[in-house]
Each structure stands twice: as C-alpha cells, then as structure tokens.
C-alpha cells in the first residue's frame, strides 16, 4: 500500500499529548475480559485511516503497519489483533489525506474501541448507566486536580478530588459521578501545572482509567 507521508521517525521519550478520542466499552468484550490487548479502530472522522501502528510502551519503535493492505474508511471499523502479554501500548494512526495522531500508554487490555473523530455519533449512541470509575496514576508525579463532565454539558464542572487531596504515583482513587450519561470528558492536572485531557470516554465501561 502506497504511503503518502515521510518515513516514521523513532518515538521520542516524552512526547506531547495529542488528542485522540477514546471510548472504553464494557468489559463484556471478549478480549477485554481475557487480558488480550486487541482492540477495534472505529473511524468517526472524515478521513480514511491508512495505517495503524501499535507497539508495547517498552518497545523502541513503532513496528509494522497493523492494517497491512487494508484501510478504514469514514464510518468504518477494523479489529487490530495484538499478541497477549503486554497491556500498555502506544498507538499511532496515519490518515490517507495526511496527518497523524498518537496515543501513549493505553491500557489496551481494558480497551474495546479506539474511536477517532468527533464525539457526535458516539454521543448519540452512548449508553446510560453508572459512569463512576477509579483513576489510576501510573505517572511519575502526583495529580492535584481532576475534572470530569458529560460531553453534552458546557465547561468542566467541579474539581473531583477535593481541596488539598492528591493522587500519588501508583495510587488509585474513586471518581464518583452521577448515574445517567456515560460519555465524559476527563481532565487532570499534574503537580507542576501540566494539564492533560481525555475526550469522549465511555465511563460506564471504564472500571479503571489509567493515566501516565
């Protein structure tokens, strides 16, 4: 399959955060239950996905294109099969019309669908239920603030940890959310001021949300 972009360069050690819509579906998924890191790419963007790379975070490079001769058209989906053993993966998606997106440190064993594009279609089809989850800090610094708000709402809403509370490295804390909508936007602030976000999270299917 012809590629329309320059050759991949080695992955930097500490990349910047790039937005990639992420939906964690219920653990009823066979591979999520079995510890299999395989997942589906769901293309809700307006671009054709030309290549998908997925490699364990411990690997030095991206490896081979997991789509092979296939592409994922707008509105399409494709299963990305990965070998068992590792759960933490880095993923890179390359679009046929140019441009790429990356997501680092995915807990792929708990991931059913990796959704690309805006949240409109996902929001319309989102289930209702209990969106509460455990936030797991696998980073090197403490988290000082956490915000979680439905994608249908405006703004980020209240800070969820409470004044003076921290999520230390290696610690897990419950984030209690009201029953109802499942699709949430998540924002967390590391000590030192760095802010990261995860959009279109299906919180009703995410028992643990891992950040690093």
Q: Do 154 and 190 have their domain in common?
A: yes
Closest C-alpha among 81, 89, 105 to residue 31: 81
Whether 19 maps to a domain, the answer reads: no
pLDDT in tens, 51-102: 999 999 999 899 999 999 999 987 788 999 999 888 999 999 998 877 888 8
User: Which structural domain, as residue segments, surrounds residue 85?
Assistant: 30-118
Residue 44: give its domain's CATH number. Answer: 2.60.40.2890
pLDDT in tens, 107-137: 888 888 888 875 444 444 445 678 899 999 9
The number of folded domains in the chain is: 2
Q: How far apart are CA 95 and CA 211, in angstroms?
A: 26
Q: At which of 118, 143, 170 does a domain end?
A: 118
Q: Do 78 and 139 have their domain in common?
A: no
DSSP states of 28-95: TSHHHHHT---EEEEE-SSS-EEEEEEEETTSSS--S-TTTT--B-TT-EEEE---SS--EEEEEEEE
Instruction: Record the pTM.
Output: 0.45
Q: Which two structure tokens, joined as six digits, stand for 130? A: 């209990």
Q: Do 176 and 111 have their domain in common?
A: no
Whether 206 maps to a domain, the answer reads: yes
Whether 8 maps to a domain, the answer reads: no
């Amino acid at each position: 399959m012809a590629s329309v972009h320059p050759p991949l360069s080695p992955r930097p050690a500490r990349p910047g955060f790039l937005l990639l819509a992420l939906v964690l579906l219920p653990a009823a998924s066979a591979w999520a239950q079995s510890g299999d890191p395989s997942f589906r790419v769901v293309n809700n963007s307006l671009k054709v996905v030309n290549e998908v790379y997925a490699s364990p975070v411990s690997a030095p490079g991206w490896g081979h294109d997991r789509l092979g001769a296939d592409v994922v058209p707008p509105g399409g989906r494709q299963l990305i099969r990965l070998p068992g053993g590792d759960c933490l993966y880095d993923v890179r998606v390359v679009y046929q019309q140019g441009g790429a997106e990356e997501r680092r440190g995915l807990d792929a064993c708990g991931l059913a669908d990796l959704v690309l594009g805006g949240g409109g279609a996902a929001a319309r089809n989102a289930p209702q239920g209990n969106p509460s989850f455990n936030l797991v800090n696998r980073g090197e610094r403490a988290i000082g603030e956490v915000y979680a708000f439905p994608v249908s709402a405006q703004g980020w809403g209240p800070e969820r940890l409470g004044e003076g509370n921290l999520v230390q490295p290696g610690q897990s804390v419950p984030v209690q959310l009201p029953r109802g909508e499942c699709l949430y936007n998540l924002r967390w602030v590391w000590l030192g001021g760095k802010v990261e976000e995860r959009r279109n999270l299906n919180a009703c299917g995410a028992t643990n949300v891992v950040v690093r």
